[in-house]
Amino acid sequence: MHAAESGDLLALMAMLGSDMREVFEAVVPDEALMALVEHTGFERRERKRDALHFIRTMVVSAASGRGGRQAEVMKDYFIGQARPVARSSFYKWFGTACERVMEGVRDRALAYARSQPIDLPGVLGKHVRDWHIVDSMTVKLPDDLIDEYRGTGDYAALKIHKRFSVGIGTTIGYDLSPAREHDAMHLRLDESWRGLGLLCDLGYASMQLLRDCEQYNVRYVMRLKDGWKPKVLQVVRGTVTKTFVPGTDLDVLLDDEVLLLDGKVIDVDVALGPKRIPARLVGIKTPKGYCFFLTNLEASVAPRSVADLYRVRWEIELDNKLDKSCSRLDEITARTGPAARALVHASIVASMLACLLASHHRRRTAPAPKRGATRKKPPIHTQALGRMLGAMAPYIARVMDMTGKAAVAEWDRLAALLNRETDPNWRNRPSVLDQMRGWRVSPARKKRVRPTTRIAPASAP
């Protein structure tokens, strides 16, 4: 291959083999895993078990999707030329020591994710260090675990409370609880939140949360909760037909048509609760009617930008879908607490690997940081990438045992395959994040249709 052709090939490879190798060796490296295995005593008695291969297989096979979770780990483990054992003996390996090792893998993945550069161009990064989204998802479990993880009904389920970084593009923290526990119990702001932005749904909204945001200088965007009675202090934008007394309930102003819902944006200063917490209330007309958002962002942030910021909260819903549909978080059939938690950690870490690789791809393919920059390369589709990682599970396990030039060549080959998992709809439906980053998408050119020449039928003799 000529040097020019080689350079063109490297230019097309948005994500390099070195990126893929960096991510996997940061999360599941040999030395760190063996230290965890020795510290937890995971391989103290089982001489037939290759603990390093077993733990790594738990993570990389989470998205393979060829059978039950524990059965799939067993298949991929044996594909790696490990000594076969009976199924009953294999399932016993998913015990307390295994859970503790997976907690260590989880901690390594979260620490590596938090160390990544934050990518928040455009309006996203003007007022905060990063935007964090909090949300929860429920995982149903076998009834054997109902005493430990009771759901809201007569069934067993656990809830995963996640914290997602928009600037990094992945989960950066999570904890587990019985599904019946309320979400708000698992969001407590402290000094570490100072200078950040918070996006959350109504399950976390409370007057205490608003007070904490003011105390720790946290910018927030959330929907207006039913039952809250904001007092309007000033109308910045909106159609006012009559004079109103500052401090009047918003509902009264709307019912009396003092403040009209005429399709224009609404931007008013309000006070909430008995302690009169100050906030901005933004109203945007949608096909389903007006949506109202509470925020403490400066007035320089336009109302529609506030609404777009709340739309960014959908990123964690996509991440939840990645956990469940690709990393098979919904397919945990383990009947003991340690085994179920170990598999939950494996699923979350597998999703994080896909997100971290997508983050590398996004930074390499991002257009120049200027207003109106045009994206020329399609962004990667994280769910397609996650499924591809599952299909690559045996190859990834093999390449991590390789060294030298052979390892470099194999990592590059796998990365080239991942680069093909791009979003096919990126031109027609660019993500809200790309739009808020200020990136334009050049629409695809329509194919020119050549006129067809019709041949007249021959006349009858």
281 belongs to a structural domain = yes
Query: Does residue 7 sit in the same domain as residue 111?
Result: yes
Query: Does residue 20 sit in the same domain as residue 100?
Result: yes
Q: In the listed set 308, 326, 358, which residue is the last one of a domain according to the structure?
A: 308
Query: Does residue 8 sit in the same domain as residue 76?
Result: yes
Query: Does residue 348 sit in the same domain as residue 299?
Result: no
3-state SS class at 221: strand
Report the pLDDT value the prediction gives residue 452, as an integer from 0 to 100: 58
Residue identified by tokens 């949300």 is 135
Query: Does residue 387 sit in the same domain as residue 295?
Result: no
450 belongs to a structural domain = no
176 belongs to a structural domain = no
Query: Does residue 11 sit in the same domain as residue 55?
Result: yes
How many domains does one find in the chain? 2
Query: Does residue 350 sit in the same domain as residue 422?
Result: yes
Query: Does residue 301 sit in the same domain as residue 385?
Result: no
426 belongs to a structural domain = yes
> Which positions of the chain have pLDDT values less than 70?
1-13, 44-49, 64-69, 71, 76-83, 367-373, 438-461
Query: Does residue 349 sit in the same domain as residue 284?
Result: no
74 belongs to a structural domain = yes
> What would the pLDDT profile of 101-138 be if each residue is shown by its tens digit?
999 999 999 999 999 999 887 778 889 999 999 999 99
110 belongs to a structural domain = yes
Report the pLDDT value the prediction gives residue 66, as an integer from 0 to 100: 54
Pinpoint the alpha helices (H) of 289-374. Answer: 303-311, 314-321, 337-365
Report the pLDDT value the prediction gives residue 426, as an integer from 0 to 100: 80
Query: Does residue 303 sit in the same domain as residue 398?
Result: no
455 belongs to a structural domain = no
Query: Does residue 19 sit in the same domain as residue 103?
Result: yes
Report the pLDDT value the prediction gives residue 45, as an integer from 0 to 100: 55
**Own/partner pairs, 330-336, CB within 8 angstroms, 24+ separation:** 330/139, 330/140, 331/68, 331/69, 332/69, 332/139, 332/141, 333/68, 333/69, 333/70, 333/142, 334/69, 334/70, 334/94, 334/141, 334/142, 335/142, 335/144, 335/145, 336/94, 336/95, 336/144, 336/145
237 belongs to a structural domain = yes
pTM of the model: 0.88
Domain span at residue 297 reads: 221-308
Report the pLDDT value the prediction gives residue 456, as an integer from 0 to 100: 54
Query: Does residue 267 sit in the same domain as residue 346?
Result: no
